[in-house]
């Protein structure tokens, strides 16, 4: 798809000059060099993303992609599928977990209907092509054309957000049974057996996990996705919410703003997006280590270390909401601390 390829081609590497300048500024802050640990590397990354050491991340937003999945028919989830639409409405009303945590971080939240199995919901932007993806155990989740279209439309949303002043974009999802296609993507993209990446999702009884493993194994066997073609993987064993998040990642990187990942579902989407352009990982901020099995497998493949581990597995963008506070802390560190040079100090660098 030409339009999607054009967006991908516009993604640039981080500015090396700014990275170097920000490192000098951070090392000159009135503290032992390196004593604020990964907060310093986060501030440096943000400077490189914004291509300035005078960056401001004052407008933050989390976009929650919501969609249903045909594989729900296979008994891989115990929560009713109708909960996807219900929680989409609750997100609109500010009543979900991500909304509560985002409020604490002065972050806006918007839910987008990428493929919920219901009529269009009032007050919710919709980009869906179908009411839920197809059952991946019997065939592909969607056509390749549908996957490309959704990637592009979601990338445009991220570009529009940046154009309207959003400085930090977080991603999240809603979709009953979506940990099944996410596990399939992670299994294929990391060459890892399904049994090592399939978890319990939203409280699936442990005795039913093997059935879920079997369904992921079957989906991969039936569709034959090849990790060398990430869009094919997405279309064959993915889902609309996963495609939507991958598109937001692409668009955020193209817009030159950081994209904060949430948990396991967002890692799966990142595996797809990062293979489409080698510079995309530089724009990603991994918030937390999801408690979902397979999370560490995906993060290791992405070569990313999450910033915290609270044993969370809610999804929705809840981890991304908490990470917004770290970004604000990095900003305050860069702008509010005094400097060694102003105080006439010259501390040695750590060994």
pLDDT number for residue 10? 98
pLDDT number for residue 300? 98
DSSP 97-155: HHHHHHHHTT-EEEEEEEE-SSSPPTT-EE--SSSSB--TTTS-SS-HHHHHHHHHHHH
pLDDT number for residue 344? 85
Quick one: what percent of the chain has pLDDT higher than 70? 99
- The residue ranges of the chain whose pLDDT is under 70 are 347-351
Domain 60-327 has CATH 1.20.1250.20: no
CATH number of 2-55+334-343: 1.10.1610.10
State the burial class of residue 90 (Cβ atoms within 10 Å of its Cβ: 0-12, 13-18, 19+).
middle
C-alpha Rg value of the chain to the nearest Å: 20
Q: How many Å apart are CA 170 and CA 264, to the nearest integer?
A: 14
- Could you confirm whether 316 is annotated as catalytic? yes
pLDDT number for residue 236? 98
- Please identify which of the residues 3, 40, 316, 349 carries the catalytic annotation: 316
Quick one: what percent of the chain has pLDDT higher than 90? 96
pLDDT number for residue 343? 87
Q: Is 102 in contact with 109 (CB distance < 8 Å)?
A: yes
pLDDT number for residue 133? 98
Nearest to 177 by CA among 130, 224, 136: 136
Cα distance from N-terminal residue to C-terminal residue, the chain: 50
pLDDT number for residue 351? 54
Give residue limits of the domains in the chain: 2-55+334-343, 60-327
């Amino acid at each position: 798809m030409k339009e999607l390829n054009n967006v991908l081609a516009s993604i640039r590497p981080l500015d090396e000059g700014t990275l170097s300048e920000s490192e000098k500024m951070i090392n000159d802050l009135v503290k032992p060099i390196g004593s604020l640990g990964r907060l310093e590397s986060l501030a440096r990354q943000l400077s490189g993303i914004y291509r300035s050491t005078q960056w401001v991340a004052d407008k933050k937003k989390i976009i929650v992609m919501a969609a249903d999945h045909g594989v729900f028919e296979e008994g891989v989830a115990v929560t009713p599928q109708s909960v996807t639409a219900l929680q989409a409405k609750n997100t609109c009303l500010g009543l979900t977990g991500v909304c509560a945590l985002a409020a604490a971080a002065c972050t806006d939240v918007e839910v987008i209907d990428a493929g919920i199995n219901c009529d269009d919901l009032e007050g919710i932007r919709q980009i869906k092509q179908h009411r839920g993806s197809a059952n991946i155990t019997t065939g592909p989740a969607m056509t390749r054309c549908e996957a490309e279209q959704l990637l592009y439309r979601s990338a445009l949303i991220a570009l529009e957000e940046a154009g309207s002043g959003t400085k930090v974009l977080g991603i999240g999802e809603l979709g009953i049974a979506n940990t099944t296609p996410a596990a399939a993507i992670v299994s294929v993209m990391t060459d890892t057996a399904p049994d090592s990446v399939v978890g319990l999702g939203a409280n699936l009884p442990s005795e039913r996990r093997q059935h879920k493993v079997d369904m992921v194994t079957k989906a991969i066997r039936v569709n034959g996705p090849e990790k060398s073609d990430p869009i094919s993987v997405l279309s064959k064993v993915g889902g609309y919410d996963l495609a939507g998040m991958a598109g937001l990642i692409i668009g955020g990187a193209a817009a030159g703003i950081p994209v904060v990942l949430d948990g396991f579902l967002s890692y799966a989407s990142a595996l797809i997006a990062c293979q489409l352009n080698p510079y995309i990982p530089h724009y990603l901020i991994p918030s937390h280590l999801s408690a979902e099995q397979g999370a560490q497998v995906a993060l290791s493949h992405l070569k990313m270390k999450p910033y915290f581990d609270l044993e969370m597995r809610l999804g929705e963008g809840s981890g991304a909401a908490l990470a917004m506070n770290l970004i604000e802390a990095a900003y305050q560190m860069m702008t509010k601390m005094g400097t060694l040079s102003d105080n006439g100090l010259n501390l040695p660098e750590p060994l």
